[in-house]
Structure 1
Amino acid sequence: MRFDIITVLPGLLESPFAHSILQRAQKKGLSEIIVHNLRDYSLSKHKNVDDYPYGGGSGMVMSIEPFAACIESLMNERHYDEVIFMTPDGKTLNQTMANELSGFTNIMILCGHYKGIDQRIRDLFVTREISIGDYVLSGGELPAAVLVDAIVRLLPGVLSDETSALSDSFQGELLDAPVYTRPADWRGNKVPDILLSGNQAKIDEWRYEQALERTRQRRPDLLK
């Protein structure tokens, strides 16, 4: 699975993709993450990628030409299943969306900055707009990293235990059940006896009941 990420701050994405699961996925050849510097496509002498907004107002708007040039250059090389713009007014990312996107082959992600990007880029090229929450960040780079992480960990072969992702919170619309590891007794705080019983059917039943109760307490909206 390939991700092409367009950004004005490529250095901001170096660390998230160079460690842990995302690094392992790339080394295994299961995913490819390419970061493109938007300034490379600027026609300006000083490599500017923004300009004043029509109609006045505060802030700067990312220009249409660099984005269009980069997008069209990439589209000439391959077909993209989705061209995603990370924006606070997009549809909120959830597990169902991550599951869907993990079935695609090529995804392009646009990272905004400043006051936003020229609306014509959104109208002409973007196929999906995604938010990671009801708040505003300095740019779309961190949301892009969140999105890629949520997708890549679902790809077959990325996690050591492929069933692990299937039991995560929000899979099946429930939060995950409590988890424990050794020692079984720590300062008088003991692991529930059922988890030490060896009865897998009973353990699975307990985990489901715990997940249901945790969801009821913390995210009752999911049970609707």
Structure 2
Amino acid sequence: MRRLGLILLGALALVIGIWIAMLVFLPDAPGGQRPRASKAPAPAVAAVAETVVEGAPLAMPVAGLPRAAVTESWGDPRENGLREHHGNDIMAPANTPVVAAAAGRVEKLWNSAAGGITAYVRSPKRNWSYYYAHLSGYAPGLHEGQVVKVGDAIGYVGDTGNAGAGNYHLHFGLTRTAPEQHWYEGRPVDPYPYLAGKPVTR
């Protein structure tokens, strides 16, 4: 009986040690939270619901769409194979509200030939950048330096930039950054697993 008690005590100490190591050594997730292995994914139907994918909660950035509406498009060929797609296209009717997938600060509002009307939001620790492109316009009052929380209005689904007339969708990009980097720097990361609630395999 005493031996069984020692075995159980040792197993408990091992579990606690692993849990502490996860809290200390794993990096911050895109949504600014550390991994929580025991938390179950949130319901897929809420527009701003969070899910946990290896501790990386991101809300759906297109209001009213379930996570099932997200399809994988990372790496798809663009411009006749001259470049790869670095982001996730979420199809939706024109002018559907686009909302913040994670909390942060609006770092740049930009109108470019490729992305059209775009918004870059930086995470509070400046280690992630969230990119919203092909918008038809910005939410009223949206401005650089504005702090947003999950679900706050960013803009509206459109077809600006190189989306193609009538090809209404949100291009959502996720970039891993260093705090000192600018809004246009960093390493693109496939956002699909973080939006769709799928396990991260790469």
Instruction: Place the TM-score, normalised by the shorter chain, in its bin.
Output: under 0.3
Could you state the TM-score of these two structures normalised by the residue count of structure 2?
0.25
Whose helix proportion is higher, 1 or 2?
1
Q: Greater strand percent: which structure?
A: 2
